[in-house]
Structure 1
């Protein structure tokens, strides 16, 4: 079922591998011309434009942008108790992991009387996005809100598309998750217009202010991603997220049923989802293909899954050795990487590039999506070569605080003047010499 690339006996250079390996196409530039009018309309006309776009794209026109608190309470009260318990467990585990990510301020004494303190200050106001297209993602609410709250973000607003089925409100499970996490401000707005409203702010239909944010995080489709790109600078963004990816590095000890199930689990997200198997075993590749045929036919979203698995972004890569396999997965830099090999922990420790690594037969990506405690907002499209997933650090800024006494400045004044003159910026040096530094200045 999966397309095959045979690299046995020949693993190309990293540059060649990047071009050779399957990858979902996501040309954000190609949709910028469609997104620009949306962003500019929201900038110029505010909420009225947002409601017009909701009517056009979401087939419903909400009465107001901000969801009343009573709707959040009602959604949580009506949530299936089994789902509520699962969300509570997901939240609890995420809080445990993210609590250990909080950085402490550090003061370094450079010289007697001269210190530099690195303060970690949370972003003041953050907009979080929860998609509402092919699927509903309360888990994404958890993964965005928990690190933001742990970082100490003062003000949070959650955006999710209005749903015609629910009278112009976001999906009730999204509302319930927000209430469970203590997020009281939720806006019924989706897509590029959500990012624009978060960036520019506006006035709701009842006259209430919709305050702009400093940072926007959360996954979305290519149009939302294009809006993030356009507005980056006015707002901070977490990343430009593309279609989801799973890569599995496996040898002949892997269970083909596990491998097939995990490939399908990511393929059900989207027809552009990428499912990659990198293996030293042609026998395993054959057995995985056989199990995929049965599993795809039986799964709920079989048409979507089959399209994703047969697409150019998915496939099997055959390699001669696990060393070669590690080189391949490092070049690919998957959002999610599973290691299903003998001595999986040792192999995983050698991986440099991945959004998250799942070790052994009992750590499927699905666990990380919901209840491992890790974050599932991860870099896609090879960005794991240089970027990290969402964490507490995503919501913090490091500020250096410099504190020098007259004596400490006097001791280094000559060096500052010398460097200022070397750069032909004499006023820099004069700013030091203008001070009364006492004897020896």
Structure 2
């Protein structure tokens, strides 16, 4: 038995206002206006954004568990699982390192912190004390131990993506090894997947409300004027991320037969949701569903996407080296090429050690600077005020990077339906113009 995509009937054209991306875009604009003109009210709407993110996080563990287990069990060959994981990690390691190097190069060329002449002794170290404490806890050993859950069930209730992935892989492998006696369980999980993805569609209807509340809070609390003093850093980061997405990832996409622009257009609703909530996790369940509908094998999607959310953080890596050198430049510290190479090496390790931690970008930066004594950790207080604005760009870049990685690994494995991908990216697939909850309704269960 397997779940397959059946074409939707043509039906009537969907009104523009019913498209999720239009609703989210309108909500973001409304949130900015409200936060700017009525900042107190905007701050008070924080629970709307937080509540929506909690709703989505509620289903992330079940989505990952069901997708990974059924994907691995459906592969039949365990060698294929190891091969997909190996290719995915090779991809993650190369492009994550490349992102660190890109941030380092841009920081040296643009030098956004030059001329600020900040005295490190005048910085408020207490403002970043909590982040520094979390960074000390996020050691590589601690990270590896945290992957192992207390119980199998706690992996699905504690909200850790890596713990859920760990248990799901073990369960999927066990299901595959048992074979025929386990087929009823496999069928049950396949059918349960349909129910969970329909639930995701229902929750996505609240996305505009969440985006509205989150954006109103951000602008109301920090103000648009916050960007003026540190505008050079924010602008440099956004420009660097844009160059990485369109230049580096765009080239990767072109070499593998698809357009990065068309992929971004296909994921526009999810990207606007990430922009509004500053959280790529908010769009994780929807990303899994859309990549499967775009022709990527379910098993590949189930392995690559959740793993990439912890190990393929292109936007976070660009931010780390760029922000570290900005702090050094702002405090008048000259770093030699040897010291910058050491910074790069430490960042490569710490970016994995703090993976999956809430606020991972800022915490990872604290972990990196605490190991590199040349740059004062207290310097992070300089960017604390605009970190919220940069977190949106980090999340967007991470999200697009994982979408590209999944399609590329699927193609390497010969598990990509090129015809289906072409239809979806060129808007020739019937499901493209449906509301998000109807997109998942066209899945049917067929006997194997």
TM-score of Structure 1 vs Structure 2, range by shorter chain: under 0.3
Asked which structure has the greater CA Rg, the reply is: 1
What TM-score, normalized to structure 1?
Answer: 0.25
Q: Which has the higher contact order (CA 8 A, sep 6+)?
A: 2
Structure whose residues are more often helix by fraction: 2
